[in-house]
Amino acid sequence: MTPLPETRPDAATSLSALMVQSSTQAPLTRAQQRFNDLLAQIERLSGQIQRLEAWSHKHRYAHIQSLRESVQLAQTHRKSLLLFVHERLQTADLTDRQQRMARGMVRGLIDHLAPMADPQVQALADVYVSEEDTQEAAEEQAEAAQRLRERIEEALGQPIEKPDQYQTPEEMMQAGMRQWQRQQEADEQRKAAKRAARKAQKQAQKKSATADKGELPPAMLREADAKSAIRTVFRQLASALHPDREPDEQERLRKTALMSEVNAAYEKNDLSTLLRLQLQVTQVKPGGAARMADAQLMAMAFLLKEQVAALEDDLDQLQSRLSRELCLTVRADADEASMSQGLQRIQADQRHSADSLQADLRRIQNDAEFKRWLKEQWQLAKATSA
């Protein structure tokens, strides 16, 4: 089967070719400047999305696979540590303090391993969740929660509401986040209410002015003009690309493919793509927008502004999704080499975490090192929660 010809616009039909060119005799009008500015924004945002998708396609799979392998290896080592510490609790000569440290270590390892739903891990969880251990853990959690509360209240600038309800650092952190979000939402609601009031006032003023003149509101006029402008471009393209009027088979295939792009762009009110296709298909001279009246350019700007907003949303969603998936802040305006290095650092950190667990397991095979390791891990846990 003969492949369809490439229909993606080339460099000659980029949006820059659609811009109105100024001259010393004819400087740009405000409508022409606005038209050019919106085209430039669409070109920039589209390019950022394409480059970010290309960068993601190049690195995403290998990065996620590397993280998955490191996490699985770390979990394997954690389970080995868990079984080893449990066995030492039954056989080693440990002081009461060392036994508390070891039980705390076991509980911590069980927490990390809980998502695995491993029968051995679950069996040990049942053993170590005794009343004594639960009380001991609860006291430790309450102390850590109190320390975290002080830091959160300092950051919020106000006390945590009903702090006695939260007995663990996780609960205290969630409470702090909820309170911070309520603050932000309340601030945003106040700002939104002010914006809505100003907007309503302006709209009322405009309605009153147009009602006195017996005219349609400007927004409705712009929307009607925009629909008329995009419909005109669509009809011109449909006429030029009608496949039934083309006797040559290869050319008919080309026009059919292009017409599919035209239909898709028209359904989405994608004026920039229609204009680019018009430049490609009908051989309109670059800068042809200079011959358009300002009213027509402003109508087109109405649609181009909607496209800019949609592309900004698409870019925000893409950046957020990739940031979550890659565990790295991903920004379209960031240096790609720096982001790639960031991925490598994350992979190295995960490998180091797995290697450290394996090294710990080798180290604690004799009782003396095991006891020293318990003390180190206990002090580290204290420092981390402080």
Which of 160, 192, 159, 187 minimizes the C-alpha distance to 175? 160
pLDDT of residue 83: 94
In the block, tokens 């914006």 appear at: 195
pLDDT of residue 65: 94
Residues 45, 8: Cα–Cα separation, whole Å: 17
CB 287 within 8 A of CB 19: yes
In the block, tokens 């102390």 appear at: 143
DSSP one-letter string for 121-162: HHHHHHHH--HHHHHHHHHHHHHHHHHHHHHHHHHHTSPPSS
| C-alpha distances out from residue 180 to 151, 159, 183, Å | 13, 11, 5
pLDDT of residue 1: 33
Residues 61, 219: Cα–Cα separation, whole Å: 46
Can you give the pLDDT of all 386 residues of the chain as single tens digits? 333 333 344 434 566 777 777 777 778 888 888 888 888 898 899 899 999 999 999 999 999 999 999 999 999 999 999 999 999 998 888 898 899 889 889 988 988 887 777 899 988 888 887 655 666 667 777 777 788 778 887 777 778 888 787 777 778 788 877 877 787 777 778 877 877 777 777 666 655 655 444 444 455 445 566 677 777 777 777 777 776 767 777 877 887 888 888 888 788 777 777 777 766 665 544 444 555 667 777 777 877 888 888 889 889 999 999 998 898 899 999 999 999 999 999 999 999 999 999 999 999 998 899 999 999 988 888 777 65
pLDDT of residue 36: 86
- 3-class DSSP assignment, residue 168: coil
Q: Using the 8-state DSSP alphabet, how is residue 245 labeled?
A: G
pLDDT of residue 282: 57
Contacts with 234 (C-beta within 8 Å, 6 or more apart), sequence order: 262, 266, 274
Q: How many CB atoms lie within 10 A of CB 259?
A: 19
Which of 206, 237, 200 minimizes the C-alpha distance to 221? 206
pLDDT of residue 132: 55
pLDDT digits (tens, 9 = 90+) for 339-349: 999 999 999 99
Gap between the terminal Cα atoms of the chain: 68
Strands (E), the chain: none
Residues 200, 339: Cα–Cα separation, whole Å: 44
pLDDT of residue 264: 84
